[in-house]
Amino acid sequence: MLDQAIFNTREHLLSLRNEAGFWEGELASSALATATAVVALSLVDEESHDAVIRSGVDWLMKFQNEDGGWGDTTLSGSNLSTTLLCWSALQLVMKNRLGLCGETLVSQPVRPLGPTIARGSAWIEGRVGSLEPGEIQRAVVARYGKDKTFSVPILMLCAIGGTLGRDGWRMVLPLPFELAALPRTWFGAVGLPVVSYALPALIAIGYARHVNAPFAWWNPLRWLRSVLWRRVGPMLKELQPETGGYLEATPLTSFVTMALASAGQKKHACVPEAVRFLVGSQRADGSWPIDTNLATWGTTLAVKSMGEGDERVKDWLLGQQYEVVHPFTNAAPGGWAWTDLPGGVPDADDTPGALVALWELAGSDEVRRGMLPKVEAAVGWLLDLQNRDGGMPTFCRGWGALPFDRSTPELTSHALWAWGLWGGMLSEKLRERVGRATDRAWEYLQREQRADGSWVPLWFGNEHAPEEENPVHGTAMVLQGAGAGRVELSAESMAVLRRGAEFLLAAQGADGGWGGAKGVVTSIEETANAVMALVTVGETGEAVERGARWLVQNTEGGTVFPAAPIGLYFARLWYHERLYPVVWTMGALRAVAPGSLQDAENDTQDACAPH
């Protein structure tokens, strides 16, 4: 039964490759992304984009939850952020169609929006306590705290949609967009109120707030910002990738576009390409995903799960490494982003992921030695990114004031995995640096381990778990990464991993699977990663066997892989990815019965060959 499930899972995973031989995956459709795109296109030119807007609105109406709210995915429960955005977007469309905003009327009306909006209003009133603009603003700000990366765009869209009242723009918190004129190396020190990847939003939304709700005439900031726009405004075009999509992400691109349009900047140089990106990103059903793809990330996960791949994948992956300074984050050459598209940003999860995958793809030390120039550049890139606390941030060193720029355990352990694999082949100087960085990383992991033995990840969560955290996934990632390298661990480090394993054992559900925390509904993704983690640290008992049986049963023998929304995109935006349950099931079953793969590989020996 296990052998057949491994064979089936492998076949299914291979069938998901594109024609070039790598994996693009498929991200969930997003109500949040769809609402932002509808608003952006409505503001730029509603009449020209009538059909696109109408299909987006129809999708939003179709996937409103029974309780009247909207979730981030069609599998997600309603949340305040997404519901506010969808509710406000639909109100803007309805007002425009009825001619209440002075906009051009279009000839093709959408379906009646009143009942949908009324149900959304009831949900928001039940959650916030009222529809009074001040209460809505306080609720949004409270959800995100001092991080304005997402609270300000939400409030801006609500102001545009008219749901914050006549003085809606006064409810939008001002952003110091003039700070973008400073040297990029100063950003960490000046404490920007948005995370490192959100610079375009800081500029565009900050300017829109300045135009629509300026400071008093006597305030010098009013005049300073007006003057500096001439210097800062062109940066939006400089930061825009050739695809037109900032970060290849619909929400960020939409927020920048609607901000400029609302500030009288429809003819800004970046707007046409942003609009082209948005129109081209809409799916046939009328929805938008949060991002175009996670191709590099998905491909490295697939390679790691199978333990091998073909020459095409190796060459493609090597070609994705950044060889110049990145214009977006000023990141040095040497890293990898999550996608092969130009809007990606090198980060400390995809870079070690690429290094681990390349180790597998090489197959021999001779081939690995030929990769060393690129590998050493990547290892050096990670070393330079390590924070003072010993942990790894996602994008930029030292921008630790806001949640999505802080060090995080799962990325730290991923770096340990990559350093452990390649360490013995590096130059002596780099080996010494890796040794020191490894010690600091372990100290960080020890400090971050909770009393129950768990670690909490930054980029994954669980909507059903306390505080929407996912200690099962975070702990599993740390055990897989920190325990998988080719370095002999100290007794102290082994004790740290053992406490993590004990947490996972205690969190296993009665059915043999795992959810995001003990007692939480189980999923393929969390169960597979828990099984892999336990095997990595030497656990081979009944818990692992029960987990493997759960996977075989719930994937129907490796043929069906329903995804769960445990991924956290920027600003706590939930998503699911088609590849996740497949690659992690593959890795888990392979870990439980590595010998069982031999027959599968013999039966599909041509599956990875070029064709």
Separation of alpha carbons 426 and 371, rounded Å: 11
Residue 136 has pLDDT above 70, yes or no: yes
For 208, list phi and psi in degrees, rounded to 5: -60, -40
What residue type is assigned to position 304 of the chain? K
Beta bridge partners of 222: none
What was the pLDDT predicted at 189?
A: 52
> Looking at 98-112, 148-162, 183-197, 432-446, which range is the least confident one?
98-112
pLDDT tens profile 274-300: 999 999 999 999 999 999 999 999 999
Given 1.50.10.20, 3.40.50.300, 3.50.50.60, 1.10.10.10, which CATH number is that of 1-16+452-604? 1.50.10.20
pLDDT tens profile 169-225: 999 998 888 888 776 665 555 555 555 567 898 899 999 999 999 988 888 888 888
What was the pLDDT predicted at 148?
A: 78
Helix (H, G, I), strand (E, B) or coil at 275: helix
**% of residues, the chain, pLDDT over 70:** 90
What was the pLDDT predicted at 101?
A: 39
Topology, domain 291-448: Glycosyltransferase (1.50.10)
pLDDT tens profile 222-265: 888 888 999 999 999 999 999 999 999 999 999 999 999 999 99
pLDDT tens profile 298-349: 999 999 999 988 899 999 999 999 999 887 777 889 999 999 999 999 999 9
Neighbours of 594 (CB within 10 A): 12
Contact present, 459 and 197 (Cβ < 8 Å):
no
CA atoms within 13 A on the CB side of 248: 16
pLDDT tier for residue 445 given thresholds of 50, 70 and 90: very high
Contact residues for 19 (Cβ-Cβ < 8 A; gap 6+): none
More confident residue, 492 or 402: 492
> Hey, where are the domains in the chain?
1-16+452-604, 31-172, 174-278, 291-448
Beta bridge partners of 569: 573
pLDDT tens profile 73-120: 999 999 999 999 999 999 999 988 765 433 333 444 445 789 999 999
pLDDT tens profile 506-531: 999 999 999 999 999 999 999 999 99
Question: What is the rounded radius of gyration, in angstroms, for the C-alpha atoms of the chain?
Answer: 24
* 432, two tokens: 């010494």
Q: Do domains 1-16+452-604 and 291-448 have the same CATH topology?
A: yes
Q: Which H/E stretch holds residue 29?
A: strand 29-30
Distance of CA 513 to the CA centre of its chain: 25
Mean pLDDT of the region 362-366: 93
Q: Which residue has the tokens 């799960």?
A: 305
Q: What is the average pLDDT score of the chain? A: 90
- The dihedral through the CA atoms of 512, 515, 518, 520 has a sign that is negative
